[in-house]
Homo-oligomer: A and B are copies of this chain.
Amino acid sequence: MNKKKLTRYGSIILNLISENDVFLSAQEIYLKMRELSYPVGLATIYRQLQVLLDNHLIDAIKSESGEVIYKQCKKTSHHHHVICIKCGKSQEILEPEIELWTRRVAKKLGYLPMNHTIEIFGHCQQCQTP
């Protein structure tokens, strides 16, 4: 058994993430925790985020700028996201056909696909009308 358990701060972080509709970076979570007066260190944030990931309680993707951002998704199975580049709000993409597409394309080129990243960035409905 390689899995570490959720700790006090782990649950608090999970709550914080699950209340939010946007992807948050570890740094943002750290700041929010400090705002909420939890005397938590950044290292703990990173360590507990890893535990949450290992237990599939949250999802992580890479932002456009390259940092890892976290969110709790409704779908438990593999999926992708549309992310607003203005407000950060994201929605899950529920299109199984794309999984077949990646497999088909990879195989056509002689590759055995193991993994893929698909992210769509744009403006959400609210952020389109200023």
Instruction: List residues 91-121 of chain A with CB under 8 A from any CB of chain B.
Output: 91, 93, 95, 97-98, 101-102, 105-106, 109-121
Given A106-B122, A118-B116, A120-B106, answer yes or no on A111-B84 (Cβ-Cβ < 8 Å): yes
Given A82-B105, A105-B95, A109-B93, answer yes or no on A122-B114 (Cβ-Cβ < 8 Å): yes
Counting contact residues on chain A (CB < 8 A from B), the size range is 20 to 34
Please indicate which of the listed interface residues A98, A111, A114 has the most CB atoms of chain B within 10 Å of its own CB: A111
Asked if residues B115 and A64 are in contact (CB atoms below 8 Å), the reply is yes
Judge if A62 is at the interface, Cβ distance under 8 Å: yes
Q: What is the bound-complex CA distance between A125 and B110, given in angstroms?
A: 5
A110 partner residues in chain B, CB cutoff 8 A: 91, 124-125
Task: Please give the distance in Å from A42's CB to the nearest CB on chain B.
Answer: 18
Judge if A77 is at the interface, Cβ distance under 8 Å: no
Asked if residues A105 and B120 are in contact (CB atoms below 8 Å), the reply is yes
Give residues in A with beta carbon < 8 Å to B: 62, 64, 66, 68, 82, 84-85, 91, 93, 95, 97-98, 101-102, 105-106, 109-125, 128
Give the 3 A-B residue pairs with the shortest CB-CB distance, closest first. A110-B125, A113-B122, A111-B122
